[in-house]
Amino acid sequence: MGIGGLAFLFPGQGSQYVGMGKTFYDRYPAAKEVFDEADDCLGFALSRIVFEGPEGELVQTRNTQPAIMAFSVALMRILEAEGIAPGIAAGHSLGEYSALVCAGSLSFMEALRTVRLRGELMYEAGLREPGTMAAVLGMEPREVEKVCREASAHGIVEPANYNSPEQTVISGDLKAVKAAMQLARERGAKRVISLEVSGAFHSSLMQEALPGLETHLDKIEIGEARIPVVANVDARDVRDGEGIRRRLKEQLMRPVRWSDSIRHIAGFGCELFVEVGPGKGLSRLLKKIDGNLKGISLDDIDTFESFRHSPLADEFWAQR
């Protein structure tokens, strides 16, 4: 069973939707406590934005990041109350901070304040250095890298997320990304999709956001993780606080190596990957990375209830 057989995966920006977590908030005291803590910590009603919208307010990066984290941590706390906890964790971009809360390396309050600031800094960087992102589907990562190198004659364009063997997200200057999108289509990509984002995340254009994030990360307490957390930047498990701090700084401008992260976790012998947070995006990617891996998303309450009371959950509880 390797490291316990169970891995938690935490989603990142783009998975949010108005109303996420409301049924959990109404039914589980642990979830209500998390959202109430978030409201108190941030000094405004984040829960209202999450549950009621409007969508235009929720999708503002400074709100999106703490909102997704709050829902993810709420689900995690309910699972923990049932005795269901992972042996290893990972999170996609923003989700890495949720994974660190799960591992006990960051307190929820400290992580919440950090991702709120991170969202503000990323948004401001996007205003100073306008950029965009696009998903390239049905093309090998090496070919996408080649396309980016050629399109860089028009400006900065770089791989931002290695999501699966057939899905790579690129990020950079508007003109350069547009050129890369056209080249990818010409080279045989099945689909090329422009993403609605406020900046060129995980690219060199986030340089403006880095000093503020580094200063903040240097001030906060980042402890040793109770369980390994697989970092985005190198797809390697890390537990020491200083190693985590360094990787969080690097993560802002470097690509998310998600495919490699999943393969690394699978190497521990994990039998089930549980997506803890909004959406089903990471569960879908799981099958594209390795069709033999088993994953489940706990985004909706019916699926969540079924999992909590399933023999599978009992099995993982019995292992601990």
Q: How far apart, in whole angstroms, are the C-alpha atoms of residue 56 and residue 88?
A: 35
Name residues whose C-beta falls within 8 Å of residue 254's C-beta, 6 or more positions apart in sequence. Answer: 202, 232, 233
Q: CA nearest 7: which of 294, 311, 308?
A: 294
Q: Rounded to 10 degrees, what is the CA torsion of 59, 174, 152, 211?
A: -50
CA distances (Å), origin 177, targets 91, 119, 180: 26, 22, 5
Residues 88 and 101: their CA atoms lie apart, in Å, by 12
Instruction: Please state, in angstroms and rounded to a whole number, the distance separating the CA atoms of residues 20 and 279.
Output: 9
93 is catalytic: yes
**Does the annotation count 261 as an active-site position?**
no
Interatomic CA distance for residues 258 and 112, integer angstroms: 23
- Please give the single-letter amino acid code of residue 37: E
From the candidates 15, 47, 72, 93, give the one annotated as an active-site residue. Answer: 93
CA distance 279 to 89: 17
Selecting among 164, 202, 261, 283, the annotated active-site residue is: 202
Query: Does residue 87 contact residue 7 with C-beta atoms inside 8 Å?
Result: yes
Determine the Cα–Cα distance for residues 244 and 232; give it in Å rounded to an integer.
11
In three-state secondary structure terms, 239 is: coil
Tell me how far apart the alpha carbons of residues 115 and 220 are, in angstroms, rounded to a whole number.
Answer: 13
Respond yes or no on whether the N-terminal peptide bond of residue 11 is cis (omega within 30° of 0). no
Q: What whole-number distance in Å separates Cα of residue 103 and Cα of residue 50?
A: 25
Active site residue ranges: 93, 202
